[in-house]
Structure 1
Amino acid sequence: MLQEESGSLPLKRSLSRRRSWRSGVDRDDRGWTLLHIAARKGDLKEVRRLLNNGMDVNVATWGSKAKGVTPLHLGAQGGHLEVMDELLDRGANIDARTWGACGWTPLHTAAKEKKKEAIKFLVENGAFLPDDINDSRFNPPLHYCHGLEWAYDEMKRIRGESSSAGEASYSSES
């Protein structure tokens, strides 16, 4: 028996730390769904299963430390390109923002973790990256995201390749 009333045995119950999966969209104490967990792990098979069963591809967390994180944020954080590709194919918002002061996108998350392949993948697939890093629409916390500098280099390389390809095809037609 628990002897909480007498004080001899301190009762430690931390319901906030315990995961409870209830209701239509089961979530843990951070507001994570099974889709968030599968994306974080890079479990493509589970991501597909959950999406096939009707889970919202853009479901956002509501926990106190990470509000608005989507499965794409977590796939980008881990650099799980196949998972990211599946999520985008299923309609994930490539520019989904977390809620709060910074409003991080999956690109910010990949940059913070220095996942260059994920950065490249997101930029190539149209993630918003303004020409000027100081553009207020992007709100980059550059001091946290040194990888964003690499994202800008990658964006310039991609644009350079596409303009070179355009020039080459134009000159070959002449």
Structure 2
Amino acid sequence: MNSKLTYNKIFRKAVIACLILLFLFATLCTCKKDDTQNSKLEKINLNIKKSDGTVVPVKTELAKTREEQAKGFMHRKNIPSGTGMLFIYTKDTKLAFWMKNTPTPLSIAFIDSTGKIREIFDMTPFSTASIKSTYSVRYALEVPKGWFAENDITCGDILDISKLK
């Protein structure tokens, strides 16, 4: 009789341990979600027109306020290809960006008030070095590092800003 009770206790403990492991596994699997889904920023689909006429879509989050712009992609670990964040300013100005608290490597395009890409730079995770625009610009578009190069997007290409007005 004692061996049956011992067996039942062991069985219950094993079932409980399996349930705990299953719960932990399910929790960990949901943690690697696309971080952009959690963003409360307004989202909009924009297009970049290349010099050869080809159009490249980019799903963007819009950073319009100082608070949104200060936070940017900080603490985001997963930024899918084809997505980005567009920083919108009310007037043309020289901009400076850094990567403090940003674990994901990014590329940034500085864009003038007509939508023309003036400069593109790669940025290093967690760096506090400033990446500065040479020109006065109205917008900055951050995307995963290398996305501009992978899509052959270069200076002179045009971001269609008509949806922003």
TM-score under structure 1 length normalisation: 0.31
Structure with more relative contact order (C-alpha pairs < 8 Å, separation 6 or more): 2
Q: Which has the larger share of helix?
A: 1
TM-score under structure 2 length normalisation: 0.32
Structure ID, larger Rg: 2
Q: Which has the larger share of strand?
A: 2
